Amino acid sequence: MTGFCHFLTAMADEGGRDMGADRIAWLLGAIDGLRHAVAMGPAGARDLYYDDGPAPVGMLQLYYDRLEDLEAGANGALVRLPEVLGRGVSLRHQAMVCRSFTVPEAARVVTGCAYMVHYWGQPRNANAWHGHYLAHHAPVMARFPGLRSLEIYTPVEWVDDLDWPRETHFQRNRILFDDEGALEHALHSPVRDEMKADRAQFPAFEGGSGHFAMKTMTLCNRRGAFDHAV
């Protein structure tokens, strides 16, 4: 299953506050075409191999079926988001194609814990990179115990009028679990070693990656019903 995802990353300035879901749910409800929205904040689950420092203070994932709807949202209600968040929070963003994969223990998770990974820089051959990742790395990730969903994101060309810096990650992926304990259990399972071994087979790229555990909360579902609780 494919669609489009608009990533919004909040960075707290000195003395700033986080991206509170209760402050933004009503704003998202005004976006026509928004199919699904997820708010995220830092979690404490640990990986066997990576410690990439503090996670972003908050992230939003806004899902759309059509790129035109994503662009309309970026040029409409989202313009007011900095005003809603208040001083002390800066935003950056990126639109990407979202690919969802079938996993054996799939389930709808309203509040859970995700492992977000992003790759920055540039692969020497982008087609070879994504081809290997989708064909070989994704099936390994799908074997994580307790995994509820798996998504991989790749860049898309798009237009917007938002006055925020654009992120330029050439790929992201997200694995989702019921809670922090389930995520940490998965990250310490033999599947994590399989992923590490497959990473050694990646096509060459210049850059790096970031790995962050994030608590997640669904703010709206496919029917557009929004919640205010965090």
Residue among 43, 49, 47, 51 nearest 178 (CA): 43
pLDDT at 188 > cutoff 60: yes
How many whole angstroms separate alpha carbon 92 and alpha carbon 217? Answer: 20
- CATH, residue 137: 3.30.70.100
Residue 192, pLDDT score? 94
Tell me, yes or no, whether 101 lies in a domain.
yes
Tell me, yes or no, whether 53 lies in a domain.
yes
- Between these two residues, 15 and 216, which has the higher pLDDT value? 216
Tell me, yes or no, whether 226 lies in a domain.
no
207 conformational bin, left if phi > 0, alpha if psi -120 to 50, beta if neither: left
Tell me, yes or no, whether 152 lies in a domain.
yes
- The helix (H) or strand (E) run that includes residue 129 is helix 126-132
How many whole angstroms separate alpha carbon 177 and alpha carbon 160? Answer: 32
Identify whether the C-beta of residue 85 lies closer than 8 Å to the C-beta of residue 140: no
Dihedral sign computed on CA atoms, order 216, 221, 224, 227: negative
Strand-pair partners of 116: 174, 212
Residue 98, pLDDT score? 98
Domain encompassing residue 18: 2-220
Residue 83, pLDDT score? 84
DSSP codes joined into one string, 172-196: EEEEEESSHHHHHHHHTSHHHHHHH
pLDDT at 163 > cutoff 70: yes
**Structurally, how many domains does the chain consist of?**
1
**122 token code pair:** 């540039």
- Between these two residues, 74 and 227, which has the higher pLDDT value? 74
Tell me, yes or no, whether 38 lies in a domain.
yes
Residue 94, pLDDT score? 98
Tell me, yes or no, whether 206 lies in a domain.
yes
